[in-house]
Structure 1
């Protein structure tokens, strides 16, 4: 199971660090991961601390020194850019370890159960609550977008949102329609982005655009974090471990369902009334029998 990025670990432990070490952490997070590949002297200068403070900082995260810390960063970057082909080859090399006498059914249950548990263990409650708050705010417009394998997740969440509230759309792939939508973005907009490793450049660009215009970004991503995370107010990371070479979206689907449950609770009777009216109109126009 992926343990999350070093950036995640640093964020989670900032409150436990000394003031000087906290400055080191903020310098690394401000330009992550590039800042981690600078020399100790450069990081120390930027953080206005001594070189030994930088070394103490990386030691707190289990590294034997700065070169070891940088090796961890490089390994993380390799995982971030993994493709189905590279994962397939890695799985093939480790096939004997994975299979043994374990049945496919048992392996699937073990792997997916562990991935779901770890996802929920590491999901920040504040981010989950903020996602529900943003998506249930009737003053905000919601736009959703996904990638090669995650566009259907964006559609899935959008369909739920459309049943529960007004002002929801999926960002068009057609250039003219997409450009028209981007032109109107502003402070009251929320962009929901699905972006997983082999990240798509347009997702970070869209998040940055809306962030610069004062809007809010909710990101669904993997433990290594899409580059769009730098411009996102809410980051909901899920495990992607699977018995196959393809990243799993099962934990992400569970997080989506949890967000929907929160939206139903937050919108209350308003959502109930909208669902009833939608049902009535669908029957009246022959969409439902």
Structure 2
């Protein structure tokens, strides 16, 4: 489902000067800025009330109430907790087995996410992450830190200069302190967006950090600070959101990054395997000795 911000972005070139001024006001503190009265919105954007009416109709809404109804729906979706998500799915659950319903939702998420995926954005992210002169930092929220950890585990094998930022809220400023303009910050932030993540992204962006964001279809507030944004479908018939599509994209980026400099990646992997052999980290198969000649 396209968000109002998506619709505004797609229609931006067709808007008049006053309508663009209104659009920028709406996007500045989206979606809250659009939930005030039509008079207040017009005053905040320094445009006339008829300009507000004309623009929302140009965007495809029947009027301002219809426009605000969509914004309220989006806001409700982004702040819903696991209990409310479960109840919403349970109320409309078909009679099929949960495994089938879940699989259908995941497949639909993948299909829709890939249909709206920007290949240039993917290539840009892969190119930035492949540049070994640029240190990479990764961070996630309460749930998504597992995705950041997974990405980090693979990237640190492929290249050096990769750091996983602690989930401890009081420590992230120390990591930002070490960042320099052009460094890369990969963030994972889905609905019930975390304020600390937004604060970190804002400060990092102000310091010239290149931010890559993995978020949902509604879009984390970090969107306005990121250079590359991946908006992915996450809804499934569950109290929890799905990480499947995010993980698919992460694994595709892992492959793209390791293939970009395969010779050096292979050498690094080889060195790591030797270290693993030294530490006996992994279990080795038992080799059976060849039997000698049978005595007669």
TM-score w.r.t. length of structure 2: 0.86
**More helix per residue: 1 or 2?**
1
Matched, 1:158 2:156: no
Question: Following superposition of structure 1 onto structure 2, how do residues 109-120 of structure 1 map, counting pairs within 5 Å?
Answer: 109-120=103-114
Paired with 1:208 and 1:175, the residues of 2 have a C-alpha distance of 15
> Conserved in 2, the CA contact under 8 Å of 1:194 and 1:221?
yes
Paired with 2:98 and 2:211, the residues of 1 have a C-alpha distance of 38
CA separation of 1:277 and 1:249: change in aligned 2, threshold 3 A: same
Paired with 1:260 and 1:133, the residues of 2 have a C-alpha distance of 11
Deviation of 1:164 (Å): 1.1
Aligned match of 1:99: 94
Residue 200 (structure 1) aligned to one of 194, 200, 203: 194
5+ long unaligned stretches in structure 1: none
Using the TM superposition, name which of 42-51 and 159-168 deviates more: 42-51
Deviation of 1:48 (Å): 5.9
Aligned match of 1:90: 88
Count of matched residue positions in the alignment of Structure 1 and Structure 2: 283
CA separation of 1:176 and 1:99: change in aligned 2, threshold 3 A: closer
Deviation of 1:177 (Å): 5.5
Q: State the SS of the aligned residue for 2:179.
A: coil
Deviation of 1:45 (Å): 5.5
> Conserved in 1, the CA contact under 8 Å of 2:39 and 2:49?
yes
Aligned match of 1:211: 205
> Conserved in 2, the CA contact under 8 Å of 1:139 and 1:188?
no
Deviation of 1:46 (Å): 5.7
Q: State the SS of the aligned residue for 2:261.
A: helix
Residue 31 (structure 2) aligned to one of 27, 30, 33: 33
Aligned-residue RMSD, C-alpha: 2.3
Q: State the SS of the aligned residue for 1:99.
A: coil
Deviation of 1:219 (Å): 1.1
Paired with 2:271 and 2:13, the residues of 1 have a C-alpha distance of 48
Deviation of 1:264 (Å): 2.5
> Conserved in 1, the CA contact under 8 Å of 2:90 and 2:237?
no
Deviation of 1:43 (Å): 4.4
Paired with 1:92 and 1:244, the residues of 2 have a C-alpha distance of 8
Deviation of 1:154 (Å): 0.5
Matched, 1:69 2:64: no
Paired with 1:141 and 1:180, the residues of 2 have a C-alpha distance of 15
> Conserved in 1, the CA contact under 8 Å of 2:189 and 2:215?
yes
> Conserved in 2, the CA contact under 8 Å of 1:186 and 1:210?
no
The structure with the larger Rg is 2
> Conserved in 1, the CA contact under 8 Å of 2:140 and 2:167?
no
TM-score w.r.t. length of structure 1: 0.87
